[in-house]
Amino acid sequence: MTIALAILSLVALYPFLLEALRPRMSSRARADAPGSFAKLSQGTVHYRWLGADEGPVAVCIHGLTTPSFVWTPVAKGLGDMGYRVLVYDLYGRGYSDRPRGAQDCAFFIRQLSDLLADQGITEDITLLGYSMGGTIAPCFAAQHPSMIRQLILLASAGLGQDLGPASRLLAQTGLFGSWAMLSVYGRSMRRALEAERSQTSSVPGIVDMQIAQLRHRGYLPAVLSSLRGALDADMQDAHRSVADTGIPVLAIWAQDDDVIPIAGRDMLTSWNPAARQEVVAGAGHSLPYTHDAAVIQILSAHLKRQGSGQGGPRLTTSNV
C-alpha cells in the first residue's frame, strides 16, 4: 500500500516538478532576441517596431499560444501602407516575462497600457487582435475609445467559440486541470504543430519557433491561465460599447477555421451591426502567415476606405 501510494504521489507530482526544472526566461535566453525590452509594472515585455519609420501607429496583439512573430508578414504589409507597427509578446509567451496570477482581459489591458505609455504613444492607434488577441483588443478599445482610430480582428475569439471538451476540462477542473495541462497539453501541441510542417508559411521556421515555447518555465501555466481568464470572458459588453462609440471595426474570418469558426460573425453582427466583415476563402486559423497576402489585400482596401470616409457593414469572401 505504501509503495502504491508513493507511486501515485510521484505520478501526481512529476509534471509540477518537471515544470519547476524548466529554465526561466532569462537574459541568456533573450540574448538573440530581435527588437527591444521594456520593464513594465507587471514584468519585462519584449517588443519590436516594424514597418515605416514614420506614419500612423498600428499595434498588433497575438493569440493564445503563438507569440508576436505571427504578425511579421502582416506587419510588413502594413508598413508598405505607411504604418509604424508595434508587435509585442503577451506575458507568458515569447521573450516576455511569465508573471503568476490570473490572465484575464484586465491583466492584458494593463500590459498594453503600460507598453503604450512606455513608448510615448499618445495619438490614436489602429489596434489589431488575432485569435485571443481578438478578446483583448475590444476590451482595450471599450476602456480607451479615444485612443482607437479603428479596430481590426482576425479569427477573433470571444464571439461564442467552443474550444472543445479538452480545453473546457483544463479550464474548469482546478488542480486536476493544472496537472493535465502540464502532463498532456505540451505533447498534444507538439503533435499538432508537427502535422503543420508541410503547410506553406510566410514565417520561416514557424513550427520550430512555436515548439520552442514549451522549453521555458511558465509558458504552459500562462496558456492555462488565459484559457480560464481572457478566453472565458463575456465579450458582449465590450463589443456593444465599441459599437456605441462608433469605432470602425473590421473582422476577418478564415473560411476553414477549425479553431475559431466563422459562425462568430453572426454574434458580432448582433452586437455591432456596423462592423465590416470579410472571409478569406480556403484559409484556416493560421491565416496571418498562411494567407497573409489575402489579409493584406483586405486591410489595404479597408484602410483606404476609412481614409476616404466610406464605411458600413459588409460581408464578402476573398479568394486571394
Strand partners, 47: 36, 88
Sequence-ordered list of residues with C-beta below 8 angstroms from that of 137, at least 6 positions apart, any chain: 61, 127, 128, 129, 151, 153
Please provide the DSSP assignment of 159-207 as one string.
Answer: SS----HHHHHHHHSHHHHHHHIIIIIHHHHHHHHHTTTTS--SSTTHH
Per-residue pLDDT of the chain (320 residues; tens, 9 = 90+): 687 666 666 667 888 889 999 999 999 999 999 999 999 999 999 999 999 999 999 999 999 999 999 999 999 999 999 999 999 999 999 999 999 889 999 999 999 999 999 999 988 999 999 999 999 999 999 999 999 999 999 999 999 877 677 677 777 778 888 888 899 899 999 999 999 999 999 999 999 999 999 999 999 999 999 999 998 888 999 999 999 999 999 999 999 999 998 989 999 999 999 999 999 999 999 999 999 999 999 999 999 887 755 554 544 555 44
Considering Cα of 13, then 19, then 22, then 27, what sign does the dihedral take?
negative
- Where exactly are the structural domains of the chain? 2-318
Q: How far apart are CA 184 and CA 179, in angstroms?
A: 9
Instruction: For residues 191 and 194, give the distance between their C-alpha atoms in angstroms, rounded to a whole number.
Output: 5
Note the pLDDT of residue 305.
81
Tell me which H or E stretch contains 223. helix 219-228
Q: What is the mean pLDDT of the chain?
A: 91
Write down the pLDDT at residue 6: 63
The CATH number for 2-318, chosen from 1.10.10.60, 3.40.640.10, 3.40.50.1820, 3.40.50.620, is: 3.40.50.1820
C-alpha closest to that of 253 among 289, 277, 286: 277
The answer to whether 152 and 252 have CB atoms below 8 angstroms apart is: yes
Residue 199 CA neighbour count, 13 Å, CB half = 22
pLDDT for residue 172: 75
Separation CA 96–CA 258 (nearest Å): 28
Among candidates 306, 244, 250, which has minimal Cα distance to 271?
244
In this structure, what C-alpha cell is assigned to residue 132? 485571443
C-alpha cell recorded at residue 137: 483588443
Confidence (pLDDT) at 319: 47
What span, in angstroms and rounded, lies between the C-alpha atoms of 253 and 258? Answer: 11
Q: Classify 2 as helix, strand or coil.
A: helix
Query: Under DSSP, is residue 7 helix (H, G, I), strand (E, B) or coil?
Result: helix
Residues 36 and 48 sit within 8 Å (Cβ to Cβ): yes
What phi and psi, each to the nearest 5 degrees, are found at residue 52? -75, 155
Q: Could you tell me which residues come within 8 angstroms of residue 38 by beta carbon, excluding any fewer than 6 positions away?
A: 44, 45, 47, 114, 115, 118, 119
Residue 260 φ/ψ, nearest 5 degrees: -120, 95
pTM of the model: 0.93
